[in-house]
Structure 1
Amino acid sequence: MPEVREKQEVKMGFTEKKFAHLPARESQHKEPPYPKSKNMSTKKEKDMYIDVEDKDPVWLKDKGDHFFTRFDYNAALNAYTKALKEDPEFLMGRLNRASCFIKLRAFVAAVDDCTDIVKQLEGIKKEEYESDRMFYDKIMCRALVKRGASQSWMSSFDEAITDFEKILASDIYCGILGQNQTDALRRDLLTIKTRKESQEIKFQGDALFYSEDYDGALIKYHESLEKDPFNEYAIANIGAIYMMRSDHAKSAEYCTRALEIIETFQ
């Protein structure tokens, strides 16, 4: 027979009750903002026959998430849009809708949604922000990443660089992203800066091209490729110059290179 275990006192900690003579209730505590919608619409008589998943912002967001994970971005976009119609201040719904816009290459709309998020967060009272700082910091960080990415696709390099540098300058945002994503963001920032320099030289070539100085344009396009060998715009324009010179072999070579680069974006 095993020996009887020794007696030992264990202290148990309990949550302090607001009212000592009453059981604790969840309603006595502030509800977290995630994943709940901040502004739930009051029930309207005309909505009494509409299913909750078609009018509750959180349900609609979950429906959008379901479609998004199955790559049905248009259906997800509709669900997120409907959620935002019920609650325009629903940050998670707007952030996820921005992701849909990026997947659908609607970069202007993605930038608009992310900018709305940034404005909402900047307008929150300090006391409210500090009460759930971790949640709001995550939303701000993700919004800046998505906005910067969208701006880079739109060739708005200065704006993209500003957003990415703001993230990388913050230890909080870098901690949210993690080491791998932070390193990837640094590489993306370097790529954007390189493309910006390459495009500036390419624009000089465009000016020469429009003035029919094709030799000068060709030199500038090649200089542009020295900065960024994957600048599909400069490569395609070189192909156009060779086509005008009836050098069809070289034209086909450069146009094929440009198309191969573009196909990697699909």
Structure 2
Amino acid sequence: MPLLIRDYTWEETEKMMFITVPLKGVRANKVDLLSSEEFIKVSFPPYLFECLLYAPVDDQTSTAQIGNGAVVFKLKKQEPGMWYQLSKDEIVDKQLIKQKKEEAILKNQERAEQERKDKAEKKRASEKYTVNEMMKIEDDERERINNIKEYERKKATEELERWKEEQREMAEEEKQKILEEKMAEEARKREEERKQKKKKGKNIFEESAEGVPRREVGKIEVKFTKRVFPTAARESQTPQEEEWLQKQADARKALEVEDSDLTEEEKNPLFMRDKANEFFKAGNYQAAVNAYTTALRYSPKMPALYSNRAACHLKLRNFFKTIEDCSKAIDLLHPPVPQNAASRLKALVRKGTAFCQLELYVEGLQDYECALKIDPNNDQLKADAEKIRQIIQSSTGS
């Protein structure tokens, strides 16, 4: 049987009741407390303290502290006033104590259940707030990336328009130069014809008789620009000539990419492609990028060069450049036919991987799904696409 504690002490004020129960040398971690508005219990085997209070107290604001070899209860009275005694009667009915004990246990269970529900509700609210904040951060990041894309697009458009304007000006200057040369050539021919005619009729200016001086001949100098075409201006066909001149100007523009420091082999795009492949296998990805770029200067319509350069950018973590090169390769691989299916598959996977590295999982999943349409039996592609779906679902709280 438990040993009842008799050497407890208590004090009171108008509003508070203080009860001190000694622990008899028992460790604090073995103490079990139970309290309600009318009943308190302290159990630390083999000792037991039970008390049916004289009047009800506020169980929510009351406290119990364990330490320094005792349990100290600080009980706030529901109604201020002096009790002058701790319990209702000196001799307490055991049946009443049992009833109050059961009520206290039930109330503590209800309180614990309510605290658990409040804690769970608070946790759900915190998780919801966290998810909303993460979605907001992702939206802000997506908007930032879209703004960067829009800025780059506008910048590229402006540079393209500026380049077109420069090309138009250069073409106009070239056309004017050729026209001047045509005029000069026509003037030169007219001058030669005039000299020939003058040579044939020269005897009219020679002396006709002895002592009669020769007639003075005047000379007029005329300068003309050189004419490109051998035909006279009156016999030329202007539309065909201008078309030919435009082609010549375009050819001269193409020659602007010539680099005198490059050898003939380095001007061969296939040679540079093979060199770039060797750099890539050796792990020198920046050198491979430079070699692919040189090859593209001489063959800008080869989709494999863009796709391979995208693989190098992916290794170098240049994800935006990877997406740009993959997009160019896919554009050049149209129309989609079985012969270019493998190339389109590589470009789509690299582009999707770059999007996922930028945490743009929705865009990356779209590219992987397009790749699966090309090769629906590819188990690795299926597994990667499923991982991306799981990331998207977890980030949206589904």
TM-score norm. by structure 1 comes to 0.49
Task: Give the structure with the higher percent strand.
Answer: 2
Larger radius of gyration: 2
